[in-house]
A and B are shown apart, each in its own frame.
Chain A
Amino acid sequence: MIENSIEKTIDFNQPFNNDYLIKISGLYKNFGKVKVLKGVSTQIKKGEKVVILGPSGGGKSTILRCMNLLETPTYGEIWFEGKLLTPVDPYLHKEIIRNAKTYKKLFSEIKSFNPALSDDEADETVIKEIKDKDLLKKYEGKEYKAEMKKLYKEFFQDINLTRQKIGMVFQHFNLFNNLTVLGNMTLAPVQLKLKTKEEAEKKAMELLKKVNLEDKANVYPSTLSGGQKQRIAIVRSLMMEPDVMLFDEPTSALDPEMVGEVLELMKSLANEGMTMVVVTHEMGFAKEVASRVLFIDEGIIKEENNPKEFFSKPKDPRLKEFLSKVL
């Protein structure tokens, strides 16, 4: 079940190094019988601006929503700042597979059939077979379980804690309709006891001033235009001082004349060094701001490159077709 391409991008022996913010390994997501993601692996480094492009229904938003666990992955692991957000996926860890009963059985079988085989070679063959044929069962013995638990205990972090550091901006803004703009911005930091009410309000006013909306502090979201709502939604996320911002088609629900103001704000964020992952249809934004562009189609990363190469020398045939349609 694990695609070979993962092996190239993920170093299994060092899953815990800290030079990335987000690491996705072997991500699969099924909605019922529909397979939306079929093995996505990528890493997002600090300061990177990753733009995710692709046709609708290809799984772009699902990847983004898996990063802060708004969707629970079916298989695979998500890591954030060296912390594990999902349950341990045994297929991603050789040391876990080696402790499984199935592995031990297959290993001794293969050795008795073929005594000339070295241990390393046998090990490799068995692990490959187990991964390819999805052979691990629910119960694989005590040692296997202990190995899983050890990893989980050491690296698992509660998602609510992690989400404080991952800002997210939605297509439909999702401002709280029952609260004023100021209430929207101060709710999370105050409730989570990260700031006092006064501190939060002061910070909120500073941010509102930055986006020229300080006169809207005490109005309800229903009185705002789409562009204003989205700018508020962005600064609402910034209240939490996130380490990375996820944008899920932030301009798709906006009138054309309002797209500009939101993109401007995103660009200024990018210039300030914010790590960003953006799902969008704005090719101009991708060309100008992105440090890396991913093309997602049919649930996998079909192409991944810097924007210059991505747009001028696309290799994947589906990407060529996609670009010819949208450019």
Chain B
Amino acid sequence: MTNIEIFKESFIKYEGYKDVLEGLKATIIIAVLGLFIGIIIGTIIATVKIIPKKNGITNVLSKIGDFYVWIFRGTPIVVQLLLFYYVFLPLMHVRIPSMIVATCVFGLNSGAYVSEIMRSGIQSVDIGQLEGSRALGLPFTKSMIKVIIPQAIKNIIPTLGNEFITLLKDTSVVSFIAVMDITKAFQSIAGGNYEYIVPYCVLALFYLTLVSLVTLLVKLAERRLKQSDRK
């Protein structure tokens, strides 16, 4: 049997494709939800950081934000996964499915990066936009949500796309806490009959396809959001 035939056999006959599909689902869910959580956390931190006149509460929040970014940018994602799954949660006597833990850790991790991206995005919006909105009587938070953040997101779509691609590829480490992702699925196919060449090449193709799709989506989103710039 050739390598390809061996792969075909384990992929179809021994139902390896089921694992792969399940893994693909897990990979996409962790990456998409992770980015979603990350954008929410990142936007809140960035907004708190750029409040012009700080009072006691916002000052403390801003410090907490700094600390959070320091922790999550300063440690590898694998270490964060291991710590949450094997240390913090058992210490608190909480049992959560590893899939959910992975999603949350990826969300928290990307929140740290997105907060910096979002901050530069917000700062790239002309201060006059905020003044215009505040002068009409709209409170700070409403002005941010309705006027500033939509423009900031438009400015950072390419960078955010980058962040998503990184996140998508980084999910390949979730098998450390026993999540069945696409990497894990191909690993078990490869391990089943000691044939590595084809499964790992196909795995790489899967990631390449996913990333290409994301790149395309980002381009489309960029073009759509450029609408308001067009002369």
The interface centre, meaning the residue of B53, B126, B137 with most chain A CB atoms within 10 A of its CB, is B137
Q: Assess whether A34 is interfacial by the CB under 8 Å rule.
A: no
Q: For the complex formed, measure the closest distance between the CB of B120 and the CB atoms of chain A, giving whole angstroms.
A: 18
B230, A174: Cβ atoms closer than 8 Å: no
Q: Is the interface of B mostly helix, strand, loop or mixed?
A: helix
Residue of B134, B136, B230 most packed against chain A (CB within 10 A)? B136
- A191:B146 contact, CB within 8 angstroms: yes
CB-contact partner of A188 in B126, B138, B229, B231, under 8 A: B138
Q: Is the CB of B136 within 8 A of A236?
A: yes
B140 to chain A, nearest CB (A): 9
CB nearest neighbor in B for A178: B150
From the candidates B53, B131, B147, name the one contacting A178 in the complex (CB within 8 A): B147
One digit per residue, 1 when the CB lies within 8 angstroms of any chain B CB and 0 when it does not, for chain A 232-262 equals 0100110010000000000000000000000
Chain B nearest Cβ from A14, distance in angstroms: 28
Q: Are A164 and B131 in contact (CB under 8 A)?
A: no
Least Cβ distance of A15 to chain B in Å?
24
Q: Given A188-B137, A191-B142, A174 and B129 touching (CB < 8 A)?
A: yes
Given A160-B137, A160-B138, A220-B228, are A72 and B53 neighbors across the interface (CB < 8 Å)? yes
- Please give, as numbers and ranges, the residues of chain B lying within 8 Å of A175 by CB-CB distance: 132
- Check if B57 is an interface residue, CB within 8 A of chain A: no
- Least Cβ–Cβ distance between B122 and chain A, in angstroms: 13
B151 is an interface residue with CB less than 8 A from chain A: yes
Q: Evaluate whether A222 and B136 lie within 8 angstroms (CB atoms) in the complex, with A174-B131, A178-B150, A178-B151 already known.
A: no
Q: Are the C-beta atoms of B136 and A177 separated by less than 8 Å?
A: no
On chain A, the number of residues with a Cβ less than 8 Å from chain B's Cβ atoms is 32
B230–A223 contact, CB under 8 A? yes
Nearest-neighbor residue (CB-CB) of B228 within chain A: A220
- Bound state CA distance, A168 and B137, in angstroms? 10
- Please measure, in the bound complex, the distance between the C-alpha atom of A192 and the C-alpha atom of B147, giving whole angstroms: 14
Q: Is the CB of B139 within 8 A of A160?
A: yes
User: Contacts A178-B154, A187-B146; is A170 near B128 (CB within 8 Å)?
Assistant: yes
Q: Are A70 and B138 in contact (CB under 8 A)?
A: no
- How far apart are the CA atoms of A301 and B129 in the complex, in Å? 30
CB pair B147 A176 closer than 8 Å? yes
A82: min CB distance to chain B, Å: 18
Interface flags for B144-161 (1: CB within 8 Å of A; 0: not) read: 001100110010000000
Asked whether, in the complex, the Cβ of B151 is within 8 Å of the Cβ of A192, the reply is: no
Which A residues lie within 8 Å of B142 (CB)? 191
A158: min CB distance to chain B, Å: 9
Interface status of A145 (Cβ within 8 A of chain B) = no
Q: Cβ of B131 and Cβ of A240 under 8 Å apart?
A: no
Contact in complex: B138, A191 (CB < 8 Å): yes
| Interface residues as binary, A145-180 with B (CB distance below 8 Å gives 1, 0 otherwise) | 000000000000000111110111010111111110
Closest residue on chain B to residue A220 by CB atoms: B228
Q: Is A86 an interface residue (CB 8 A)?
A: no
A-B contact pairs, 25 of them (CB 8 A): A68-B135, A70-B135, A160-B137, A160-B138, A163-B135, A166-B135, A168-B135, A170-B132, A170-B135, A172-B128, A174-B128, A176-B133, A177-B229, A187-B136, A187-B147, A188-B133, A188-B136, A188-B138, A191-B142, A192-B138, A220-B230, A222-B229, A222-B230, A237-B136, A240-B137
Q: Give the B-binding residues of A (Cβ under 8 A).
A: 68, 70, 72, 160-164, 166-168, 170, 172-179, 187-188, 191-192, 220-223, 233, 236-237, 240
With A167-B135, A174-B129, A187-B136 given, name 14 new contacts (CB 8 A): A72-B53, A160-B137, A160-B139, A163-B136, A172-B128, A174-B131, A176-B129, A177-B151, A178-B154, A187-B138, A191-B146, A221-B228, A223-B231, A240-B137
